[in-house]
Amino acid sequence: MAGRYRLDARLGQGGIGEVWRAYDEDLGRAVAVKVLLEFDASDELLRRFRREAAIGARLQHPGITVVHDIGQHEDRLFIVMELLEGRDLAHTLALTPGRGLPLSEAVGLALQATEALEAAHAQKVVHRDLKPANLFLLTDGRLKICDFGIARTADATGGLTVTGRVFGTPAYMAPEQWRGEHVDARCDLYALGCVLHALLTGAPPFADAGQPWALMRRHLDEAPAALDTVRADVPVALAELVAALLAKDPADRPTATATAERLRALPIPGPSVPGPAPVPATTATASTVPAPSPGPHRRSVLLGGLAGLAAASGGAYAVLRLSGDETGGAHSETVIVRLSGSAESVAFSPDGKLVAGGSSDGTVRLWDVATRASSSPFPGHSGSVTAVAFSPEGRTLASSGGREVRLSDVTARSGANSLNPSLGAWSLCFGPDGRTLAAAHEDNSVRLWDVSGSPGTVIAIFTGHTAQVWSVALAPDGRTLASGGDDDTVHLWDVATRTKTATLTGHTDHVTAVAFSPDGKILATGGADKTVRLWDAATRTTTQVDTLAGLNSSVRALVFSPDGKTLAGGGGRTIRLWDVATRTNTTKLNGHTGAVNSLAFSPDGKTLASASDDSTVRLWKTP
């Protein structure tokens, strides 16, 4: 890029950009490069991207991610940052769920964060989105504040909201942020109090009840329980400090300087020591990283400043109802739930009464569409749930995560059995007979399973791809199987004869989504080359019918409406709907603050479900 930066490996992708491990050829050093992908980005988004770089360059402090450069390559803006190794505090807390960290470690980390905030506030910079995911713990124990994507200078003019959206992350937002008021450095101190509460207890002071207005009311009116009554080893002075940081009135909160002084004065051995014992070195290519899910968007992103990938809105709780102007005639009906991990997969039950969702935290949940009630999670997978699929009669739910495909009883809400041998799958699809399950497995193969017995039996293995297979689809009549993969090709297979009938070429990057139209005449394919292609599937030939326009991000999900008139596609933060007959982009659904991973139409075609990296599953009323 720009004749200087060699992009070596894509480490992550969000709604507006992607981050690469790169090498600065001029200075001979490894760096991280964040690239803005949206070619039709608004002026406001471009200003935020530039402001993030300017603020990062302005803040020279060991506890703040260093920004080296900003530039433009062709039509894309990019930011060059220091490359960090370690993990953020959200992942650190996930290792001890519900317990928090040892007292001295929690206080030491809070002190490092406070000292970095003190430096930012001295430069009149307000972060506005401090949270564990934006605090990065290096392998040497040092802590850095990341993601100044929605930071503002204290003397900046203008409001905090755009089109009904409040900036910040709900569990860490100060009352004045919820009210949409102009904020100053004291909102960061409130967020710091929430962070310190999470470090000590494993959770922020107010639980997310799944509805934004309920959480807002708690932040506005409710006092959290005193920390020394929640955790016995918390000294009174520390409990009083957290209570002061969480004061409803900004004027009652201590400054960062005063907070640092009070943390240093605590009678706790070693609170000023930089962080806990060093964590194991981890990079996107190290062997210690869990097996990646399909596509770079689901890989662990382990470098500073990456939370801003999908944070043009700063991880804001998205508006629940969007205007027709924003969505082209459709709107978001509701956020079903905010998951503890990113929402990786979604599916409607055949009767349309249930929605299943899989999360990166390994859980699978069901929600009642009419009541929005959520079931307890099914027995957890050991890794990210990359695919969920209902059987045609709706009694069985297949899910894949952590090198296991599991078949669960929907009625009993229990795990039924796992396919043997255990292999993780990036994509799952039932055949019309309800007995056949197609799976894109980790070993570059596609397998057909007979799941009528326990355990399931492999009835066919297709091995034509030369690289990872990301997506599979069975034609409505069950006679043809389509698969797309990392080798940039789509293969068509005859299920009865177990033979390959065609190889479709044309994509110039990974094929990550395939879908048959309800009549089986059209196959839609999408990939990392940001194109959606339509193929003549009825003749099982390599004839490409058309290429759909209007995309500015990789395609992660494709689904036809039940009547076959509409094709929905997602990958970035925007979901696009095309009229299949005219090949025109009729609707754009905006509201997700992270990349869309999975889509599903309800059986009546009136509702579209989407799962996103922003940890939400949403329902959209279609035009």
Q: How far apart are CA 171 and CA 164, in angstroms?
A: 18
Q: How far apart are CA 129 and CA 159, in angstroms?
A: 16
Whether 184 is catalytic is: no
Q: How far apart are CA 204 and CA 547, in angstroms?
A: 47
- Residue reference for tokens 């904020």: 183
Query: CA of 308: how far to CAs of 332, 555, 566, 593, in Å?
Result: 23, 20, 32, 10
Tokens (6 digits) for 459: 């009835």
Who contacts 269 (Cβ-Cβ below 8 Å, separation ≥6)? 104
Q: How far apart are CA 385 and CA 361, in angstroms?
A: 8
Who contacts 387 (Cβ-Cβ below 8 Å, separation ≥6)? 345, 358, 398, 399, 400, 425, 426, 427, 428
Tokens (6 digits) for 68: 């080296």
Cα 171 to chain centroid, rounded:
17
Cα 623 to chain centroid, rounded:
26
Tokens (6 digits) for 311: 């944070």
Q: How far apart are CA 11 and CA 275, in angstroms?
A: 25
461-485 burial by CB neighbour count: b if 16+ within 10 A, else e?
Answer: ebebbeebbbbbbbbbebbbbbbbb
- The active-site residue out of 8, 26, 129, 579 is 129
Note whether 452 and 396 are within 8 A (CB): no
Q: How far apart are CA 486 and CA 352, in angstroms?
A: 33
The dihedral over CA atoms of 564, 565, 567, 573, expressed in degrees to the nearest 10, equals -130
Q: Is 146 exposed, middle or buried (0-12, 13-18, 19+ CB in 10 A)?
A: buried
DSSP-assigned letters across all residues of 556-596: -EEEE-TTSSEEEEESSS-EEEEETTTTEEEEEE---SS-E
Query: CA of 143: how far to CAs of 86, 120, 173, 218, 334, in Å?
Result: 10, 15, 21, 30, 37
Catalytic machinery residues:
129
